[in-house]
Amino acid sequence: MSFLPLYVTYPSWIHPEIFPGIPILGLLRWYGLMYICAFVTAFFILRREMQEGALNDGTYTATEDDIFSFIACGIIFLLVGARIFSTLVYDTSGLYRQKPWLIFWPFDTITHQFTGLAGMSYHGGFIGGLCGMFFWCWRHKRPCFKWIDAMGVAIPAGYTFGRIGNFLNGELYGRITTMPWGMVFPGAERFSSSLDWVKRFAAQAGMAVQSGAPLVNLPRHPSQLYEAFFEGFVLWLILWLLRKHKRWDGELSSVYIVGYGVVRFIIEYFREPDADIGYRIAKDTNAPIYINTSLFNFSTGQVLCFGMILAGTALYAGTWIYAKKKNKLLSPK
């Protein structure tokens, strides 16, 4: 029987390190570089908005120094929030609760090799970054939602690079699939080739199961790229087109929060939950995580995104009511 491959093999030349095997340079990782690209992208978009007058309120004119310090403050809070949230919410070993000083320790506790801050949470970064932006605006006496609206437009474009970094790390891949763009990730869970469902699935994907091979690595959704495109580029494009039509301060940040929550909630159905956590809420507690068996099995990410949708909706209504009451509704440009 002949097989027509309907999947893509993860490129073997991609490594988490930019210069693998080279002393000193081997410490440089793609994920860290993607963070830098994200922040630089956000800076240039925010500067463009500043030039359009999005950050001015009639009493002062924003400068590049302002947006640089605004972003820098947000980055510091973001990294702290992302790391703390990741270690305390997603780690199930209890290590970081017992030894909290290891949260920001960049070396493996067993091999003592440099790993960087492996493990960052988007939702923790979102909360931390938001606190940082509020703190900066309070400290510099700037209108919070005017600045956060502008940053809300810039964030998704930068976020695209973060998910590309996950892809280059070969992590946060999706559930198994027979779609022709399914990808075989080297670090993914393998399944016994003796199982009938594995044989059927492999056959549907055009994958030849080698005789004598005890385990099979099945194709998976490249969910990192789904997120990069929809949570990043598409959401940025929507907000970019809306930026000159906003009607009150707080509208665009609300749209970002709700938009991200909705898009991520949907994509989570294609992304495999963390193996040690599984589903937070499940119709079937024994449901496997490597395939979606019910729309009522919710991952940690979906629970948090549902909270974002509620919070964003409340923020949208609250800022609109406040702007209308204070006669601060804007005329779209």
Amino acid at 237: L
Task: Report the residue count for the chain.
Answer: 333
How far is Cα of residue 140 from the mean position of the Cα atoms in its chain?
29
By the 8 A CB rule, do 123 and 162 touch?
no
Q: Distance from CA of residue 268 to its chain's centroid? A: 11
- 300 and 184 housed in the same domain: yes
Q: How far lies 61's CA from each of 53, 67, 132, in Å?
A: 8, 11, 21
Q: Which of 114, 142, 170 is the last residue of a domain?
A: 142
The predicted pLDDT at position 108 comes to 65
Local confidence band at 58 (pLDDT 50, 70, 90 cut-offs): confident
Same domain? For 37 and 147 the reply is yes
The answer to whether residue 2 sits within a structural domain is no
* Residue 290, φ and ψ in degrees, nearest 5: -80, -5
Q: 230 pLDDT exceeds 60?
A: yes
Say how many C-beta atoms besides its own lie within 10 A of residue 310's C-beta. Answer: 13
Tokens of 128: 């931390």
- The label of the residue with tokens 């302002």 reads 66
pLDDT at residue 221 greater than cutoff 90? yes
* Calpha distance 16→8 (Å, rounded): 19
Domain closes at, from 142, 160, 189: 142
- The residue-averaged pLDDT of 238-267 equals 97
Average pLDDT over residues 273-282: 90
b/e map 175-213, b = 16+ CB within 10 Å: bbbbeeebbbbeebeebebeeeebeebbeebebeeeeee
| Per-residue confidence band for 248, with pLDDT thresholds at 50, 70 and 90 | very high
What letter does residue 229 receive in the DSSP assignment?
I
Span 1-8, average pLDDT: 56
The pLDDT value recorded for residue 1 is 37
Q: What is the pLDDT of residue 91?
A: 79
- Kindly tell me if the per-residue pLDDT of 56 is higher than 90: no
How far apart (Å, rounded) are the C-alpha atoms in residues 27 and 247?
47
Cβ(199)–Cβ(1) below 8 Å: no
Q: What angle is formed at CA 297 by the lines to CA 295 and CA 300, rounded to 5 degrees? A: 120
Alpha-carbon gap, residue 177 to 204, rounded angstroms: 9
Average pLDDT, the chain: 89
Per-residue confidence band for 113, with pLDDT thresholds at 50, 70 and 90? low
Q: Is residue 330 part of a domain?
A: no
Q: For position 228, what pLDDT does the model report?
A: 97
- Residue 6's pLDDT band (boundaries 50, 70, 90)? low
The H-assigned helical ranges of 59-216 are 64-85, 95-98, 122-140, 144-168, 196-204
- Residue 26 banded pLDDT, cuts 50, 70, 90: low
* Residue 277 domain flag: yes
- Taking the alpha carbons of 82, 84, 85, 86 in that order, is the dihedral positive or negative? positive
Q: Are residues 305 and 225 part of one domain?
A: yes
Residues 210 and 167 in one domain: yes
| 126 domain-assigned | yes
Residue 5 banded pLDDT, cuts 50, 70, 90: low
Which residues sit opposite 273 in a β-bridge? none
80 within some domain: yes
For the chain, percent of residues with pLDDT exceeding 90:
66
pLDDT number for residue 2: 39
pLDDT exceeds cutoff 80 at 49:
yes
Average pLDDT over residues 252-281: 95
Mean pLDDT of 303-314: 97
Residue-number span of the structural domain to which 112 is assigned: 62-142
Residue 259, CA distances (Å) to 165, 180, 307 in order: 22, 28, 12
**From 16-25, 197-206, 270-279, the region with the lowest mean pLDDT:** 16-25
Asked if 247 and 296 sit in the same domain, the reply is yes
**Residue of 19 and 204 predicted with greater confidence:** 204
**For residue 47, what are the CA distances in angstroms to 18, 55, 233, 249, 296?**
29, 10, 18, 18, 43
Percent of the chain with pLDDT over 70: 92
Q: Are both 164 and 277 inside the same structural domain?
A: yes
CB atoms inside a 10 Å sphere around CB 227:
27
- Is residue 333 one of the residues assigned to a domain? no
pLDDT tens for 65-87 read 999 999 999 999 999 999 898 88
* Same domain flag for 284 and 219: yes
Within this chain, do residues 223 and 275 fall inside the same structural domain, yes or no? yes
